[in-house]
Protein backbone atom coordinates (compact mmCIF):
# COMPACT_ATOMS: atom_id res chain seq x y z
CA UNK A 1 0.00 0.00 0.00
CA UNK A 2 2.84 2.41 0.86
CA UNK A 3 4.47 1.66 -2.48
CA UNK A 4 1.25 2.57 -4.31
CA UNK A 5 1.00 5.88 -2.42
CA UNK A 6 4.65 6.68 -3.17
CA UNK A 7 4.12 5.86 -6.83
CA UNK A 8 1.03 8.06 -7.05
CA UNK A 9 2.85 10.92 -5.31
CA UNK A 10 5.84 10.55 -7.64
CA UNK A 11 3.62 10.63 -10.73
CA UNK A 12 1.82 13.74 -9.43
CA UNK A 13 5.11 15.54 -8.77
CA UNK A 14 6.49 14.65 -12.21
CA UNK A 15 3.29 15.78 -13.94
CA UNK A 16 3.39 19.10 -12.10
CA UNK A 17 7.07 19.63 -12.91
CA UNK A 18 6.62 18.80 -16.58
CA UNK A 19 3.69 21.22 -16.96
CA UNK A 20 5.82 23.99 -15.46
CA UNK A 21 8.66 23.31 -17.91
CA UNK A 22 6.26 23.09 -20.86
CA UNK A 23 4.79 26.51 -20.12
CA UNK A 24 8.22 28.18 -20.01
CA UNK A 25 8.52 28.34 -23.81
CA UNK A 26 5.78 30.42 -25.42
CA UNK A 27 6.61 29.76 -29.08
CA UNK A 28 7.87 26.36 -30.22
CA UNK A 29 8.97 27.22 -33.76
CA UNK A 30 9.69 30.88 -34.45
CA UNK A 31 9.60 32.12 -38.02
CA UNK A 32 9.77 35.50 -39.70
CA UNK A 33 6.62 37.55 -39.41
CA UNK A 34 5.34 35.97 -36.21
CA UNK A 35 3.52 38.48 -33.99
CA UNK A 36 4.95 37.65 -30.58
CA UNK A 37 3.11 40.30 -28.58
CA UNK A 38 0.43 42.91 -29.29
CA UNK A 39 -0.87 45.57 -26.95
CA UNK A 40 -3.66 48.07 -27.62
CA UNK A 41 -5.21 48.37 -31.07
CA UNK A 42 -3.05 46.39 -33.51
CA UNK A 43 -4.42 45.30 -36.88
CA UNK A 44 -3.25 42.62 -39.31
CA UNK A 45 -4.95 43.73 -42.51
CA UNK A 46 -8.40 44.76 -41.25
CA UNK A 47 -8.47 42.15 -38.45
CA UNK A 48 -7.83 43.20 -34.84
CA UNK A 49 -4.93 41.18 -33.33
CA UNK A 50 -5.84 39.74 -29.91
CA UNK A 51 -3.41 38.23 -27.40
CA UNK A 52 -4.39 34.67 -26.61
CA UNK A 53 -2.14 32.24 -24.74
CA UNK A 54 -0.41 29.96 -27.23
CA UNK A 55 -1.85 31.74 -30.28
CA UNK A 56 0.68 33.73 -32.32
CA UNK A 57 -0.64 35.10 -35.64
CA UNK A 58 1.83 35.47 -38.47
CA UNK A 59 2.07 38.12 -41.13
CA UNK A 60 1.65 36.63 -44.59
CA UNK A 61 3.58 37.96 -47.58
CA UNK A 62 2.45 41.50 -48.54
CA UNK A 63 0.04 41.69 -45.57
CA UNK A 64 -0.05 44.95 -43.63
CA UNK A 65 0.47 45.27 -39.89
CA UNK A 66 -0.57 48.60 -38.40
CA UNK A 67 -0.90 49.97 -34.91
CA UNK A 68 -3.34 52.55 -33.58
CA UNK A 69 -2.74 53.50 -29.96
CA UNK A 70 -0.85 50.27 -29.43
CA UNK A 71 2.35 48.38 -30.10
CA UNK A 72 3.42 45.04 -31.51
CA UNK A 73 6.52 42.87 -31.36
CA UNK A 74 7.25 40.95 -34.56
CA UNK A 75 9.94 38.28 -34.95
CA UNK A 76 12.05 38.93 -38.04
CA UNK A 77 14.05 35.68 -37.92
CA UNK A 78 15.17 33.51 -35.04
CA UNK A 79 16.31 36.40 -32.79
CA UNK A 80 15.85 39.92 -34.26
CA UNK A 81 12.69 41.68 -33.16
CA UNK A 82 10.79 44.60 -34.68
CA UNK A 83 8.84 46.74 -32.23
CA UNK A 84 6.12 48.83 -33.86
CA UNK A 85 4.77 51.59 -31.66
CA UNK A 86 1.71 53.85 -31.98
CA UNK A 87 0.58 54.79 -35.48
CA UNK A 88 3.11 52.61 -37.35
CA UNK A 89 2.46 50.43 -40.38
CA UNK A 90 4.55 47.99 -42.38
CA UNK A 91 4.49 45.15 -44.90
CA UNK A 92 6.34 41.84 -44.80
CA UNK A 93 8.09 41.30 -48.15
| Contact between 84 and 77 (Cβ < 8 Å) | no
What local confidence, expressed as pLDDT, does residue 7 receive?
61
**How far is residue 19's CA from residue 90's CA, in Å, rounded to a whole number?**
37
The pLDDT confidence band at residue 53, using thresholds 50, 70 and 90, is confident
pTM of the model: 0.59
Q: What confidence tens digit (pLDDT) does each residue in 32-46 have?
A: 788 888 889 999 888
Of 1-5, 18-22, 79-83, give the lowest mean pLDDT range.
18-22
Contact 68, 87 (CB under 8 A): yes
Q: CB of 32 within 8 A of CB of 92?
A: yes
Res 18: pLDDT: 57
Amino acid sequence: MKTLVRLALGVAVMAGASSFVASAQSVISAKSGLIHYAEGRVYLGDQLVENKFGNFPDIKENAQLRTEEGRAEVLLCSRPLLIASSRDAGHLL
